[in-house]
């Protein structure tokens, strides 16, 4: 039915008034346990960006866009592109560590809270901005996830330029791995223990990285992006959690947004980021929701990623924002930091955790 401009303005005014009234009912709230959000300082929703530790500049870029009235997902993608461009970040985009054959394969996903739409790309070669390709999949197709050769052809169709993503630094690290590798790679036997891995190769067990960035904009909308070059020296074609909606990223505009970095396989097996958002929907603070899912992962992990004494030999980090602008992060192992930008500016903070390293 046709509505006049006056009717639309009145409807928009009423909607704004309802939102404002709801905001005025929010009291001060402090997160429980670990490192979470500070108390809410205003009666209105406040914009915030939260990211993995390598995303401080990304959160600043995202909030620059948000404070100028930009969309949450546009802000998230613009932020992560900083790391996709950075050859010193060996876990993302250009300069990312290659698979076991020396080929860089990128994964990424995006999700937009207001439309509840998503886009993802996996095992993408020769295209630097996997995050942008994922966003175009979301915006210009009825599909969600493209991989491999098809993803590359799609990117070419939309004007992305192919380039060699393997930097000299990444190539030399891959060469070192090839020269020093043993049976301890992505393959395993049922009785294999991580305790037997030579010390010089243990670095590659917990070669985390990836960047996840979640944003709450000034309109009260949530968006997120996760992008990565994946596990160092992985089996060609391996896809982790980063491009899988519900595992490495999930956004629900009613409850919150969450994403992850770390060992992707355990997140896939637990639908981890979806669970973080669900826990926030049940009333948990962002930090408590992240901690609960870390605990769930540890309880469910039985084979392949444990020391002989049963302790986890891997790390997973979760980053979350709820609809009110509270944020939090938690990890399985100690020592992780995350980046956040809100009304108090950009800064690093320590993540809550389950276990001390070592």
- Per DSSP, 305 falls in state S
The dihedral sign for the CA sequence 49, 54, 57, 61: negative
Note whether residue 267 is domain-resident: yes
Residue found by looking up tokens 């802000």 in the block = 75
Average pLDDT, the chain: 85
Confidence (pLDDT) at 13? 32
Residue found by looking up tokens 């346990």 in the block = 33
Confidence (pLDDT) at 303? 77
| Residue 285 bears catalytic tag | no
Least confident span in 136-145, 184-193, 343-352:
184-193
Note whether residue 282 is domain-resident: yes
Checking if the pLDDT of 168 tops 80, the result is yes
Q: What mean pLDDT do residues 101-116 have?
A: 98
How do residues 309-337 score in pLDDT, each as one tens digit?
A: 888 888 999 999 999 999 999 999 999 99
Q: pLDDT band for position 112 (50/70/90)?
A: very high
Note whether residue 136 is domain-resident: yes
CA-CA-CA-CA torsion for 190, 194, 196, 201, nearest 10 degrees? 130
Checking if the pLDDT of 45 tops 80, the result is no
Q: pLDDT band for position 194 (50/70/90)?
A: low
How do residues 245-265 score in pLDDT, each as one tens digit?
A: 999 999 999 999 999 999 999
Q: What is the pTM of this model?
A: 0.84
Q: pLDDT band for position 7 (50/70/90)?
A: very low
**Residue 299 burial (C-beta neighbours within 10 Å; 0-12, 13-18, 19+):** exposed
Confidence (pLDDT) at 307? 82
209: how many CB neighbours lie within 10 A of its CB? 21
The candidate with the shortest Cα–Cα distance to 219, out of 102, 67, 335, 358, is 67
Note whether residue 33 is domain-resident: no
Checking if the pLDDT of 179 tops 80, the result is yes
In the chain, beta strands by DSSP E: 48-52, 106-112, 117-124, 145-147, 211-216, 222-228, 249-252, 256-262, 316-322, 327-333, 337-342, 345-350, 352-355
Q: What mean pLDDT do residues 337-352 have?
A: 97
Least confident span in 13-27, 43-57, 61-75, 206-220:
13-27
Note whether residue 23 is domain-resident: no
Residues spanned by the domain of 258: 47-350
Q: How many structural domains does the chain have?
A: 1
Confidence (pLDDT) at 208? 52
d(C-alpha 171, C-alpha 45), whole Å: 46
**Of all residues in the chain, what percent carry a pLDDT higher than 90?**
73
**Of all residues in the chain, what percent carry a pLDDT higher than 70?**
80
Checking if the pLDDT of 155 tops 50, the result is yes
Note whether residue 4 is domain-resident: no
CATH number, residue 183:
3.60.20.30
Q: Angle CA(292)–CA(294)–CA(295) in degrees, nearest 5? A: 65
Distances (CA, A) of 294 to 57, 276, 300, 314: 26, 9, 10, 11
Note whether residue 16 is domain-resident: no
Q: pLDDT band for position 193 (50/70/90)?
A: low
Element spanning 7, H or E: helix 5-24
More confident residue, 22 or 151: 151
Note whether residue 243 is domain-resident: yes
Residue found by looking up tokens 């969309």 in the block = 71
Least confident span in 123-137, 207-221, 284-298:
207-221
Q: Which of the following is catalytic: 31, 90, 167, 210?
A: 210
């Amino acid at each position: 039915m046709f509505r006049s401009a006056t009717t639309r303005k009145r409807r928009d005014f009423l909607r704004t008034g309802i939102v404002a009234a709801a905001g005025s009912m929010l009291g001060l709230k402090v997160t429980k346990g670990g490192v979470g959000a500070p108390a809410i300082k205003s009666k209105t929703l406040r914009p915030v960006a939260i990211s993995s530790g390598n995303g401080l500049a990304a959160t600043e870029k995202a909030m620059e866009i948000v404070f100028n009235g930009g969309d949450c997902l546009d802000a998230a993608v613009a932020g992560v592109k900083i790391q996709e461009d950075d050859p010193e970040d060996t876990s993302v985009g250009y300069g990312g560590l290659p698979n076991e054959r020396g080929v860089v394969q990128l994964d990424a996903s995006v999700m937009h809270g207001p439309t509840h739409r998503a886009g993802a790309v996996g095992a993408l070669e020769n295209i630097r901005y996997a995050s942008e390709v994922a966003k175009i999949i979301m915006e210009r197709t009825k599909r969600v996830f493209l991989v491999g050769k098809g993803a590359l052809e799609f990117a070419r169709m939309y004007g992305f330029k192919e380039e060699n993503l393997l930097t000299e630094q990444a190539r030399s690290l891959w060469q070192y791995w090839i020269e020093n590798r043993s049976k301890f790679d992505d393959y395993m036997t049922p009785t294999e223990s991580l305790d037997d891995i030579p010390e010089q190769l243990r670095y590659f067990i917990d070669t985390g990285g990836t960047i996840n960035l979640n944003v709450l904009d000034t309109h009260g909308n949530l968006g997120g992006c996760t992008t990565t070059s994946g596990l160092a020296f992985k089996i060609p074609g391996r896809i982790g959690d980063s491009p899988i909606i519900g595992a490495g990223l999930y956004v629900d505009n009613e409850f919150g947004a969450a994403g992850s970095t770390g060992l992707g396989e355990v997140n896939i097996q637990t639908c981890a980021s979806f669970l973080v958002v669900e826990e926030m929907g049940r009333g948990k603070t962002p930090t408590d929701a992240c901690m609960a899912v870390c605990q769930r992962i540890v309880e469910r992990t039985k084979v392949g990623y444990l020391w002989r004494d049963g302790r986890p030999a891997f790390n997973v980090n979760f980053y979350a924002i709820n609809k009110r602008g509270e944020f939090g992060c938690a990890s399985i192992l100690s020592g992780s930091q995350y980046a956040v930008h809100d009304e108090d500016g950009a800064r690093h903070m320590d993540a809550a955790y389950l276990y001390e390293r070592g």
